[in-house]
Structure formats: C-alpha cells, structure tokens
Amino acid sequence: MKYAVIQTGGKQYKVAEGDIITVERLPLAEKDDFVCTDVLLYTSDDDVRIGMPLVEKVTVRGTVLAHLKGEKIRVGKYKAKARYRKVTGHRQSLSQVQINAIA
C-alpha cells in the first residue's frame, strides 16, 4: 500500500493514488495539474520515509476536478443586558483534487 501525508492550506491529508480529496481553494483552474512537494511522510510496501520536516525528492501529483463552496457556518455575537445581537455567516471556498501519482 503506497500512501503519503501532504500539507496544503495549513492542513494535513493522508492520500493514496486514486483518492479524491477536498482542500482549501487552490489558485488553479479546473482540469489543471496540482503538484505538491510538501510531503511529510511517504510509505511504500517496506519503504517508510519521515520528513524532518519534509521528505526529499517525493512529489504528489493530481488534477483539480472542481471548485465548490463548503457548508455555511453561522456565527452569533451576543452581549447580555446591552441589546446587542449580531449574526454573520461564513462559507469556505474549496477545491476537489484527484490524486494521480505519488513519485
């Protein structure tokens, strides 16, 4: 089983070839190639490499499938006895990436 742990958008993802992951919005167009060199861990059948902090000479390649928006989050502020109420929302921009190769 070949997989890697990559870092993108300040988060870490365990990926294998053929996986489809949802990450924070990438500055790429749909159908563009995604290349990640921030590999923290790489493992193949009997070869395990742990980065300090990154693994040398390992890249993860993929394709951007789509750009989408995440679930809406409501944020409410309230102060007791002051008649102060404020509700705002946030919707994160996301990208769907299919992992093609770990080399």
For the chain, the DSSP string reads --EEEEEETTEEEEEETT-EEEEEPPSS-TT-EEEE--EEEEE-SS-EEE-SSS-TT--EEEEEEEEEEEEEEEEEEEETTTTEEEEEEEEEEEEEEEEEEE-
Domain containing 54 equals 3-102
User: For each successive 10 residues of the chain (103 residues), what is the average pLDDT?
Assistant: 94 96 96 96 93 94 97 97 97 97 94
How many structural domains are present in the chain? 1
Q: Say what the pTM is.
A: 0.85
